[in-house]
Structure 1
Amino acid sequence: MAGVRLRKAFRYPEDDDENREELDDEEQEQLIEQLQRQNDARNAQYHIIFTSIPLVSTIAFLPSIFSASSLTEWFLSLFGVLSLLGTAYTMRLSPLHPDRKGKKPITAENERIARLHSALLPVNGAVCLLLAVAYFFVGTGSTSTIRPVLYLIPGAMLAAILLARETILSVDISALKDLQYEYKGA
Protein backbone atom coordinates (compact mmCIF):
# COMPACT_ATOMS: atom_id res chain seq x y z
CA MET A 1 0.00 0.00 0.00
CA ALA A 2 3.03 2.26 -0.01
CA GLY A 3 2.39 3.19 -3.63
CA VAL A 4 -1.12 4.52 -3.05
CA ARG A 5 -1.44 8.27 -3.42
CA LEU A 6 -4.32 10.23 -2.07
CA ARG A 7 -6.00 12.62 -4.43
CA LYS A 8 -6.78 16.16 -3.46
CA ALA A 9 -9.98 17.80 -4.55
CA PHE A 10 -9.63 20.44 -7.24
CA ARG A 11 -10.27 24.02 -6.16
CA TYR A 12 -10.72 27.00 -8.38
CA PRO A 13 -8.33 29.82 -7.60
CA GLU A 14 -9.94 32.70 -5.78
CA ASP A 15 -11.22 35.26 -8.20
CA ASP A 16 -9.51 38.60 -7.60
CA ASP A 17 -12.19 40.42 -9.57
CA GLU A 18 -14.75 39.80 -6.84
CA ASN A 19 -12.54 41.26 -4.10
CA ARG A 20 -11.11 44.16 -6.11
CA GLU A 21 -12.62 47.59 -5.72
CA GLU A 22 -13.04 49.53 -8.96
CA LEU A 23 -11.66 53.06 -9.27
CA ASP A 24 -13.79 55.88 -10.58
CA ASP A 25 -12.48 58.51 -13.03
CA GLU A 26 -11.29 60.90 -10.33
CA GLU A 27 -9.41 58.20 -8.43
CA GLN A 28 -7.84 57.00 -11.67
CA GLU A 29 -6.71 60.54 -12.50
CA GLN A 30 -5.23 61.01 -9.03
CA LEU A 31 -3.40 57.69 -9.20
CA ILE A 32 -2.01 58.42 -12.67
CA GLU A 33 -0.89 61.91 -11.60
CA GLN A 34 0.78 60.50 -8.49
CA LEU A 35 2.61 57.87 -10.55
CA GLN A 36 3.65 60.56 -13.07
CA ARG A 37 5.07 62.79 -10.31
CA GLN A 38 6.99 59.86 -8.80
CA ASN A 39 8.33 58.89 -12.23
CA ASP A 40 9.38 62.49 -13.00
CA ALA A 41 11.19 62.77 -9.65
CA ARG A 42 13.07 59.51 -10.23
CA ASN A 43 13.96 60.51 -13.79
CA ALA A 44 15.33 63.84 -12.56
CA GLN A 45 17.45 62.00 -9.98
CA TYR A 46 18.75 59.59 -12.62
CA HIS A 47 19.58 62.50 -14.91
CA ILE A 48 21.62 64.21 -12.21
CA ILE A 49 23.41 61.03 -11.17
CA PHE A 50 24.16 59.76 -14.67
CA THR A 51 25.26 63.20 -15.82
CA SER A 52 27.64 63.66 -12.90
CA ILE A 53 29.31 60.23 -13.16
CA PRO A 54 31.03 60.95 -16.51
CA LEU A 55 31.94 64.45 -15.33
CA VAL A 56 33.62 63.05 -12.23
CA SER A 57 35.35 60.41 -14.36
CA THR A 58 37.19 63.12 -16.30
CA ILE A 59 39.39 63.55 -13.22
CA ALA A 60 41.20 60.33 -14.20
CA PHE A 61 42.47 61.97 -17.40
CA LEU A 62 43.38 65.42 -16.09
CA PRO A 63 46.88 64.56 -14.77
CA SER A 64 47.96 63.21 -18.14
CA ILE A 65 46.57 66.24 -20.01
CA PHE A 66 48.63 68.63 -17.88
CA SER A 67 51.79 66.53 -17.74
CA ALA A 68 51.71 64.10 -20.66
CA SER A 69 54.97 62.35 -21.46
CA SER A 70 54.16 62.15 -25.18
CA LEU A 71 51.94 63.85 -27.70
CA THR A 72 50.05 60.58 -28.29
CA GLU A 73 49.27 60.24 -24.62
CA TRP A 74 48.10 63.85 -24.51
CA PHE A 75 45.77 63.34 -27.48
CA LEU A 76 44.36 60.09 -26.10
CA SER A 77 43.74 61.73 -22.74
CA LEU A 78 42.11 64.71 -24.44
CA PHE A 79 39.89 62.33 -26.44
CA GLY A 80 38.98 60.58 -23.19
CA VAL A 81 37.94 63.86 -21.57
CA LEU A 82 36.01 64.97 -24.67
CA SER A 83 34.25 61.61 -24.86
CA LEU A 84 33.22 61.78 -21.21
CA LEU A 85 31.99 65.36 -21.66
CA GLY A 86 30.03 64.26 -24.73
CA THR A 87 28.54 61.39 -22.75
CA ALA A 88 27.47 63.74 -19.96
CA TYR A 89 26.01 66.12 -22.56
CA THR A 90 24.10 63.26 -24.17
CA MET A 91 22.61 62.23 -20.84
CA ARG A 92 21.78 65.77 -19.81
CA LEU A 93 19.91 66.52 -23.02
CA SER A 94 18.08 63.24 -23.31
CA PRO A 95 14.37 63.88 -22.91
CA LEU A 96 12.61 62.94 -19.71
CA HIS A 97 9.64 61.81 -21.76
CA PRO A 98 9.54 60.11 -25.14
CA ASP A 99 9.00 62.61 -27.93
CA ARG A 100 5.50 62.46 -29.31
CA LYS A 101 5.43 62.89 -33.06
CA GLY A 102 4.25 66.28 -34.19
CA LYS A 103 4.52 67.96 -30.77
CA LYS A 104 7.54 70.19 -31.51
CA PRO A 105 7.44 72.85 -34.22
CA ILE A 106 10.14 72.29 -36.80
CA THR A 107 12.44 75.27 -37.24
CA ALA A 108 15.85 75.62 -38.83
CA GLU A 109 17.50 75.97 -35.42
CA ASN A 110 15.74 72.89 -34.01
CA GLU A 111 16.74 70.95 -37.11
CA ARG A 112 20.42 71.92 -36.74
CA ILE A 113 20.42 71.01 -33.06
CA ALA A 114 18.73 67.68 -33.86
CA ARG A 115 21.44 66.93 -36.44
CA LEU A 116 24.14 67.81 -33.92
CA HIS A 117 22.59 65.52 -31.32
CA SER A 118 22.19 62.68 -33.82
CA ALA A 119 25.85 63.03 -34.89
CA LEU A 120 27.20 63.28 -31.34
CA LEU A 121 26.45 59.67 -30.42
CA PRO A 122 28.23 58.02 -33.39
CA VAL A 123 31.23 60.35 -33.06
CA ASN A 124 31.43 59.62 -29.34
CA GLY A 125 31.18 55.90 -30.09
CA ALA A 126 34.03 56.19 -32.59
CA VAL A 127 36.19 58.00 -30.02
CA CYS A 128 35.44 55.27 -27.47
CA LEU A 129 36.40 52.65 -30.03
CA LEU A 130 39.65 54.51 -30.76
CA LEU A 131 40.44 54.62 -27.06
CA ALA A 132 39.67 50.90 -26.70
CA VAL A 133 42.05 50.13 -29.57
CA ALA A 134 44.66 52.38 -27.93
CA TYR A 135 44.26 50.36 -24.75
CA PHE A 136 45.48 47.26 -26.58
CA PHE A 137 48.39 48.98 -28.36
CA VAL A 138 49.71 51.44 -25.78
CA GLY A 139 52.33 49.89 -23.55
CA THR A 140 52.59 50.44 -19.85
CA GLY A 141 55.89 52.28 -20.12
CA SER A 142 57.40 53.87 -17.06
CA THR A 143 57.23 57.33 -18.63
CA SER A 144 53.45 57.18 -19.00
CA THR A 145 51.41 59.29 -16.58
CA ILE A 146 48.22 57.35 -17.31
CA ARG A 147 47.39 53.68 -17.05
CA PRO A 148 46.10 52.33 -20.35
CA VAL A 149 43.14 50.66 -18.63
CA LEU A 150 41.72 54.16 -18.09
CA TYR A 151 41.13 54.37 -21.85
CA LEU A 152 38.23 51.93 -21.35
CA ILE A 153 36.37 54.29 -19.00
CA PRO A 154 34.74 56.44 -21.73
CA GLY A 155 33.32 53.38 -23.49
CA ALA A 156 31.97 51.96 -20.24
CA MET A 157 30.41 55.32 -19.34
CA LEU A 158 28.81 55.64 -22.78
CA ALA A 159 27.34 52.14 -22.51
CA ALA A 160 26.00 52.87 -19.01
CA ILE A 161 24.47 56.17 -20.13
CA LEU A 162 22.79 54.59 -23.16
CA LEU A 163 21.36 51.86 -20.96
CA ALA A 164 20.14 54.42 -18.42
CA ARG A 165 18.52 56.52 -21.17
CA GLU A 166 16.70 53.51 -22.57
CA THR A 167 15.51 52.58 -19.10
CA ILE A 168 14.25 56.10 -18.43
CA LEU A 169 12.45 56.29 -21.76
CA SER A 170 10.96 52.80 -21.46
CA VAL A 171 8.77 53.85 -18.53
CA ASP A 172 5.90 55.86 -19.98
CA ILE A 173 3.18 56.60 -17.46
CA SER A 174 1.16 58.49 -20.05
CA ALA A 175 0.27 55.13 -21.60
CA LEU A 176 -1.96 54.59 -18.57
CA LYS A 177 -4.26 57.32 -19.89
CA ASP A 178 -5.02 55.06 -22.86
CA LEU A 179 -5.94 52.22 -20.50
CA GLN A 180 -8.25 54.35 -18.43
CA TYR A 181 -11.77 53.04 -18.59
CA GLU A 182 -15.07 54.85 -18.47
CA TYR A 183 -16.72 54.18 -15.13
CA LYS A 184 -20.36 55.09 -15.03
CA GLY A 185 -20.95 55.11 -11.31
CA ALA A 186 -23.92 56.03 -9.15
Structure 2
Amino acid sequence: MAAVRLRKAFRYPEESDDDDREELDEEEQERVIQQLQQQNESRNAQYSLVFTAIPLFATMVFLSSLGAQSASERLLSFLSILSLLATAYTMRSAPLYPDRKGKKPLTPQNERLEMIHSALIPVNGAVCVSLTLIYMIFLNGDSWYINPAFYLIPGVMLGVIVLARATMLSVDLATLKDLQYEYKGA
Protein backbone atom coordinates (compact mmCIF):
# COMPACT_ATOMS: atom_id res chain seq x y z
CA MET A 1 0.00 0.00 0.00
CA ALA A 2 1.21 3.43 -0.82
CA ALA A 3 2.40 5.77 1.92
CA VAL A 4 -0.37 7.78 3.46
CA ARG A 5 0.15 11.53 3.46
CA LEU A 6 -1.63 13.56 6.06
CA ARG A 7 -2.29 17.15 5.22
CA LYS A 8 -2.06 19.92 7.77
CA ALA A 9 -4.06 23.10 7.54
CA PHE A 10 -2.08 26.19 6.59
CA ARG A 11 -1.49 28.66 9.41
CA TYR A 12 -0.01 32.12 9.17
CA PRO A 13 3.20 32.65 11.18
CA GLU A 14 1.60 35.22 13.48
CA GLU A 15 -1.08 32.71 14.48
CA SER A 16 1.53 30.35 15.87
CA ASP A 17 3.35 33.23 17.61
CA ASP A 18 0.20 34.16 19.53
CA ASP A 19 0.08 30.74 21.13
CA ASP A 20 3.68 30.92 22.34
CA ARG A 21 3.50 34.47 23.72
CA GLU A 22 3.35 34.84 27.47
CA GLU A 23 1.17 37.67 28.77
CA LEU A 24 2.10 39.72 31.82
CA ASP A 25 -0.28 40.36 34.65
CA GLU A 26 -0.79 43.85 36.07
CA GLU A 27 1.94 43.61 38.75
CA GLU A 28 4.51 42.34 36.26
CA GLN A 29 3.60 45.10 33.83
CA GLU A 30 3.97 47.71 36.55
CA ARG A 31 7.35 46.28 37.57
CA VAL A 32 8.63 46.24 33.98
CA ILE A 33 7.44 49.82 33.40
CA GLN A 34 9.12 50.97 36.63
CA GLN A 35 12.39 49.27 35.64
CA LEU A 36 12.28 50.91 32.22
CA GLN A 37 11.52 54.27 33.78
CA GLN A 38 14.43 53.95 36.23
CA GLN A 39 16.79 52.98 33.41
CA ASN A 40 15.55 55.91 31.33
CA GLU A 41 15.96 58.38 34.21
CA SER A 42 19.50 57.20 35.01
CA ARG A 43 20.48 57.37 31.34
CA ASN A 44 18.97 60.87 31.07
CA ALA A 45 20.92 61.95 34.16
CA GLN A 46 24.16 60.67 32.62
CA TYR A 47 23.46 62.41 29.30
CA SER A 48 22.52 65.59 31.11
CA LEU A 49 25.78 65.60 33.05
CA VAL A 50 27.95 64.91 30.01
CA PHE A 51 26.16 67.37 27.72
CA THR A 52 26.32 70.04 30.42
CA ALA A 53 30.07 69.62 30.85
CA ILE A 54 30.89 69.90 27.14
CA PRO A 55 29.76 73.56 26.72
CA LEU A 56 31.38 74.46 30.03
CA PHE A 57 34.72 73.11 28.80
CA ALA A 58 34.27 74.97 25.51
CA THR A 59 34.16 78.30 27.38
CA MET A 60 37.90 77.92 28.05
CA VAL A 61 38.58 78.75 24.41
CA PHE A 62 37.18 82.24 24.87
CA LEU A 63 38.60 83.07 28.31
CA SER A 64 41.98 84.08 26.93
CA SER A 65 40.45 86.47 24.39
CA LEU A 66 38.63 88.43 27.12
CA GLY A 67 41.96 90.20 27.61
CA ALA A 68 42.28 91.14 23.93
CA GLN A 69 42.96 94.74 23.04
CA SER A 70 40.04 95.02 20.65
CA ALA A 71 36.76 95.89 22.39
CA SER A 72 34.77 94.17 19.66
CA GLU A 73 36.68 90.93 20.14
CA ARG A 74 36.17 91.09 23.91
CA LEU A 75 32.45 91.61 23.31
CA LEU A 76 32.28 88.66 20.90
CA SER A 77 34.14 86.43 23.34
CA PHE A 78 31.85 87.54 26.15
CA LEU A 79 28.79 86.76 23.99
CA SER A 80 30.27 83.35 23.14
CA ILE A 81 30.82 82.56 26.80
CA LEU A 82 27.29 83.69 27.69
CA SER A 83 25.89 81.54 24.88
CA LEU A 84 27.81 78.48 26.05
CA LEU A 85 26.71 79.06 29.66
CA ALA A 86 23.09 79.40 28.51
CA THR A 87 23.46 76.18 26.55
CA ALA A 88 24.82 74.37 29.61
CA TYR A 89 21.99 75.81 31.73
CA THR A 90 19.44 74.67 29.17
CA MET A 91 20.77 71.14 29.29
CA ARG A 92 21.03 70.97 33.05
CA SER A 93 18.12 72.97 34.43
CA ALA A 94 15.41 73.38 31.83
CA PRO A 95 12.66 70.81 32.38
CA LEU A 96 12.90 67.93 29.97
CA TYR A 97 9.28 66.89 30.15
CA PRO A 98 6.55 69.48 29.82
CA ASP A 99 4.09 69.85 32.66
CA ARG A 100 1.23 67.55 31.75
CA LYS A 101 -2.35 68.42 32.56
CA GLY A 102 -1.44 71.23 34.95
CA LYS A 103 0.04 69.04 37.67
CA LYS A 104 2.22 71.86 38.99
CA PRO A 105 0.48 74.85 40.51
CA LEU A 106 1.42 78.00 38.66
CA THR A 107 3.05 80.52 40.94
CA PRO A 108 4.57 83.81 39.77
CA GLN A 109 8.05 82.33 40.24
CA ASN A 110 7.19 79.22 38.19
CA GLU A 111 5.69 81.40 35.46
CA ARG A 112 8.85 83.50 35.23
CA LEU A 113 11.07 80.43 35.13
CA GLU A 114 8.90 78.82 32.47
CA MET A 115 9.03 82.02 30.43
CA ILE A 116 12.83 82.15 30.75
CA HIS A 117 13.19 78.50 29.76
CA SER A 118 10.94 78.92 26.73
CA ALA A 119 12.83 82.04 25.55
CA LEU A 120 16.34 80.77 26.29
CA ILE A 121 16.84 78.60 23.22
CA PRO A 122 15.53 81.15 20.66
CA VAL A 123 17.56 83.98 22.18
CA ASN A 124 20.63 81.77 22.39
CA GLY A 125 20.03 80.72 18.79
CA ALA A 126 19.92 84.37 17.71
CA VAL A 127 23.25 85.01 19.45
CA CYS A 128 24.75 81.95 17.73
CA VAL A 129 23.48 83.10 14.33
CA SER A 130 24.98 86.56 14.87
CA LEU A 131 28.30 85.00 15.87
CA THR A 132 28.20 82.87 12.73
CA LEU A 133 27.51 85.92 10.58
CA ILE A 134 30.43 87.73 12.19
CA TYR A 135 32.61 84.71 11.41
CA MET A 136 31.53 84.86 7.77
CA ILE A 137 32.20 88.59 7.52
CA PHE A 138 35.61 88.50 9.18
CA LEU A 139 36.75 85.17 7.78
CA ASN A 140 40.05 86.53 6.47
CA GLY A 141 40.81 88.83 9.38
CA ASP A 142 44.43 88.51 10.51
CA SER A 143 44.23 90.86 13.46
CA TRP A 144 42.14 88.56 15.65
CA TYR A 145 43.45 87.38 19.00
CA ILE A 146 41.76 84.00 18.45
CA ASN A 147 40.73 82.27 15.26
CA PRO A 148 37.32 83.60 14.09
CA ALA A 149 36.26 79.98 13.42
CA PHE A 150 35.99 79.55 17.18
CA TYR A 151 32.88 81.74 17.09
CA LEU A 152 31.09 78.81 15.44
CA ILE A 153 31.50 76.72 18.61
CA PRO A 154 28.48 78.17 20.48
CA GLY A 155 26.17 77.39 17.55
CA VAL A 156 27.50 73.86 17.23
CA MET A 157 27.11 73.28 20.98
CA LEU A 158 23.55 74.60 20.91
CA GLY A 159 22.73 72.30 18.01
CA VAL A 160 24.20 69.30 19.83
CA ILE A 161 22.26 70.11 23.00
CA VAL A 162 18.96 70.56 21.15
CA LEU A 163 19.55 67.23 19.39
CA ALA A 164 20.45 65.49 22.67
CA ARG A 165 17.32 66.86 24.38
CA ALA A 166 15.16 65.74 21.46
CA THR A 167 16.67 62.28 21.69
CA MET A 168 16.05 62.16 25.42
CA LEU A 169 12.45 63.27 24.88
CA SER A 170 11.87 60.61 22.23
CA VAL A 171 11.66 57.96 24.96
CA ASP A 172 8.19 58.46 26.41
CA LEU A 173 7.00 55.78 28.79
CA ALA A 174 3.61 57.42 29.22
CA THR A 175 2.39 55.72 26.06
CA LEU A 176 3.61 52.39 27.41
CA LYS A 177 1.71 53.02 30.63
CA ASP A 178 -1.42 53.74 28.57
CA LEU A 179 -1.12 50.29 26.98
CA GLN A 180 -1.22 48.63 30.38
CA TYR A 181 -4.25 46.47 31.14
CA GLU A 182 -7.26 48.49 32.17
CA TYR A 183 -8.93 45.85 34.30
CA LYS A 184 -7.84 44.31 37.62
CA GLY A 185 -7.12 40.65 38.25
CA ALA A 186 -5.74 39.80 34.86
Q: Which range is displaced more, 35-44 or 170-179?
A: 170-179
Alignment size in residue pairs:
175
**Alignment pair present for 1:135 and 2:105:** no
SS at match of 1:69: coil
- Structure 1 segments unaligned to the other structure (5+ residues): 1-9
Q: Which amino acid aligns with 2:44?
A: N
Q: Distance in 2 between matches of 1:101 and 1:56?
A: 38
- Structure 2 segments unaligned to the other structure (5+ residues): 1-9
TM-fit CA distance, 1:21: 0.8
**Does structure 2 conserve the Cα–Cα contact (< 8 Å) formed by 1:24 and 1:183?**
no
Give the match for residue 36 of structure 1: 37
Give the match for residue 99 of structure 1: 99
Residue deviations 1:50-101 (CA, integer Å, cap 9, x gap): 11111111111111112x1311111111110000000111111232434212
Q: Which amino acid aligns with 1:146?
A: I
TM-score norm. by structure 1 comes to 0.87
Give the match for residue 169 of structure 1: 169
5 Å-filtered alignment, 1:105-184, equals 105-181=105-181, 182=183, 184=185
TM-fit CA distance, 1:145: 1.7
Give the match for residue 4 of structure 2: none
**Does structure 2 conserve the Cα–Cα contact (< 8 Å) formed by 1:40 and 1:96?**
no
Q: Which amino acid aligns with 1:148?
A: P
Identity level (%): 59
**Does structure 2 conserve the Cα–Cα contact (< 8 Å) formed by 1:94 and 1:165?**
no
Q: Which range is displaced more, 137-146 or 15-24?
A: 137-146
TM-fit CA distance, 1:141: 4.0
**Alignment pair present for 1:26 and 2:27:** yes
Give the aligned CA root-mean-square deviation in angstroms.
Answer: 1.8
TM-fit CA distance, 1:11: 7.0
Q: Distance in 1 between matches of 2:75 and 2:169?
A: 35
TM-score norm. by structure 2 comes to 0.87
Give the match for residue 3 of structure 1: none
Residue deviations 1:136-178 (CA, integer Å, cap 9, x gap): 1124444322111111110111111111111112211132111
Q: Distance in 1 between matches of 2:71 and 2:140?
A: 16
Q: Which range is displaced more, 10-19 or 77-86?
A: 10-19
Q: Distance in 2 between matches of 1:16 and 1:98?
A: 38
